[in-house]
Amino acid sequence: MKTNQMGIHWFRRDLRLVGNPALEKHLKIREGRVLGVFCFDKKFLSRPDFSAPRFYFFLRTLEHLRKEMRDAGGDLLFLDTGPEESFRKLFAQMENEKWGRPVSISWNRDYEPYARTRDARMHEIFEREFELTTRTERDHLLIEPTELTKDEKGGTYQVYTPFSRKWLKLFQTPEIENRMDAVSRGLKSGVPEFHAKWPKTFTGEDILANYLEKTADQLTPKFIEHLPETGHEAAVALLKDFEKHHADAYDVARDIPSVPGTSKMSIYLKHGAISVPQIICLLKLTPDSKHLKYFKELIWREFYYHILYHHPRVETEAFLLKYESLEWENSRKNFKLWCEGKTGYPIVDAGMRQLNETGWMHNRVRMIVASFLTKDLLIDYRWGEKYFMEKLLDGDLAPNNGGWQWAASTGCDPQPYFRIFNPVSQSEKFDPRGEYIQKWVPELRGKFTHEPINPIVVHSVQRDKCLAMFKRARAN
């Protein structure tokens, strides 16, 4: 292979071949001579909120992607260090084996604080040190944070409703329409062809297989057995099933945890097996769509990325800084009981047990358990946010942080601090016959009740304490 014809695509959270913007354009330029690389970045793997369940699903998605690439005439190489060290070693090996360096490299943009710093550093290394042509594209967001501002001065939105209005207005502009046309073409094109494979001297030890084996040892066979299918085709099939059987009832069913009323796309969005633009295209979503409620939930996701991008401090602190002074009780005993689903409140315990057993929790129940942790147990939302990230297959920094800060009333456009979910009334409203609760709390089968049984706290007492706690913080 002539080195001046070869490119590399750096996969990160865009684990699909169909409609992958940066990869698609790179393949066209290099006439199919693009090789795939994925780096196991230890800075991600050593995060305190690292999740073995989510990592295992991610590894299975990578396994699916590699097979798909090889079937299409390409290949995916795994490197077991961070990107800077990995690419330096890779390029040195390529030169030693007389391949020479590639001429170009592509990736899809990421918006998390660490990723932005990493990518800026790697962009400089690729262009200045290795003289590569770089190509980056937007992917998992339709409208990037830099594209949506309040005014000509670049002011940023901090409230969802005006943000969504502006987002929908931009959605109808020729630029975004052209963007969506490109998404549609990418979906119709299917899996692209590749004309480049890594030599056997580069593949060596099967790093992916080693990670799969080590991570599987941390999980139960039952958990692994019930994992969702991986890959883009699985995501599209699940979305089409949602469209056919559940989308029309979404506005109501999305709040009922006992029925399959949601799309469960969040797991695939997290890993890039599908993108928000692709979902919009496949469901033919528009501002006039009968599925507007679902459309707006996707916009919530973009809103939380918008907030994280413009206010990266929210990763570690409250968006509303006055609430950094909240006097959380932070009982480790109560936190442990919450984690284990042993609070005595049936709907809360059902949600936590579903999370622990499956790596997923219904969104309505996520709101209930988050409110209970922060406003009944008076425990810092960051404890719950971290626990969710440790357990959720769809754990994603921006929406998870945004959701927790919304529930705790510390975030941008949050639930008012005085709105405190009553877990009993929430249970009565959204699981009236106890179908969800009895599935996940088997000791209540046959003797179901919405009322708490040996509760660790009394809701009415904790509600008053919560209101007083917020009032003290607001008075400072």
Q: Which two tokens stand for residue 367?
A: 């709101």
Name which CATH class applies to 314-475.
mainly alpha
pLDDT score at 99: 82
Q: Which two tokens stand for residue 356?
A: 């622990």
Which of 11, 9, 54, 145 is closest to 390 using CA atoms?
54
Gap between the Cα atoms of 283 and 296, Å rounded: 13
3-state helix/strand/coil string of the chain: CCHHHCEEEEECCCCCCCCCHHHHHHHHHCCCCEEEEEECCHHHHCCCCCCHHHHHHHHHHHHHHHHHHHHCCCCEEEECCCHHHHHHHHHHHHHHCCCCCCCEEEEECCCCHHHHHHHHHHHHHHHHHCCCEEEEECCCCCCCHHHCCCCCCCCCCCCHHHHHHHHHHHHCCHHHHHHHHHHHHHHHHCCCCCCCCCCHHHHCCCHHHHHHHHHHCCCCHHHHHCCCCCCHHHHHHHHHHHHHHCHHHHHHHCCCCCCCCCCCCHHHHHHCCCCHHHHHHHCCCCCCCCCHHHHHHHHHHHHHHHHHHHCHHHHCCCCCHHHHHCCCCCCHHHHHHHHHCCCCCHHHHHHHHHHHHHCCCCHHHHHHHHHHHHHHCCCCHHHHHHHHHHHCCCCCHHHHHHHHHHHHCCCCCCCCCCCCCCHHHHHHHHCCCCHHHHHHCHHHCCCCCCCCCCCCCCHHHHHHHHHHHHHHHHHC
Which residue in this structure is represented by tokens 């009322």? 451
pLDDT score at 204: 67
Q: Which two tokens stand for residue 295?
A: 């459309």
Which residue in this structure is represented by tokens 């780096």? 39
The answer to whether 169 touches 39, Cβ cutoff 8 Å, is no
The answer to whether 104 touches 7, Cβ cutoff 8 Å, is yes
Q: Give bridge partners of residue 9 from the DSSP assignment.
A: 36, 106
Q: How far is CA 431 from CA 255, 257, 465, in A?
A: 9, 7, 27
Gap between the Cα atoms of 365 and 350, Å rounded: 9
Which of 71, 6, 3, 4 is closest to 33 using CA atoms?
6
The answer to whether 134 touches 105, Cβ cutoff 8 Å, is yes
Q: What is the pLDDT along the chain (476 residues), one digit of tens a residue?
A: 444 589 999 999 999 999 999 999 999 999 999 999 999 998 888 888 899 999 999 999 999 999 999 999 999 999 999 999 999 999 999 988 878 889 999 999 999 999 999 999 999 999 999 999 999 999 999 999 999 988 777 789 999 999 999 999 999 999 999 999 999 999 999 999 999 999 888 876 799 999 999 999 999 999 999 899 999 999 999 999 999 999 999 999 999 999 999 999 999 999 999 999 999 999 999 999 899 999 999 999 999 999 999 999 999 999 999 999 999 999 999 999 999 999 999 999 999 999 999 999 999 999 999 999 999 999 999 999 999 999 999 999 999 999 999 999 999 999 999 999 999 999 999 999 999 999 999 999 988 889 999 999 999 999 999 999 999 999 98
Longest dimension (CA), the chain: 73
Side-chain half-sphere CA neighbours of 167 within 13 A: 27
The answer to whether 350 touches 437, Cβ cutoff 8 Å, is yes
The answer to whether 181 touches 281, Cβ cutoff 8 Å, is no
pLDDT score at 202: 86
User: Which region holds residue 154: left if phi is over 0, alpha if psi is between -120 and 50, else beta?
Assistant: left
pLDDT score at 422: 98
Domain layout of the chain by residue ranges: 314-475
pLDDT tens digit sequence for 357-416: 999 999 999 999 999 999 999 999 999 999 999 999 999 999 999 999 999 999 999 999
pLDDT score at 332: 99
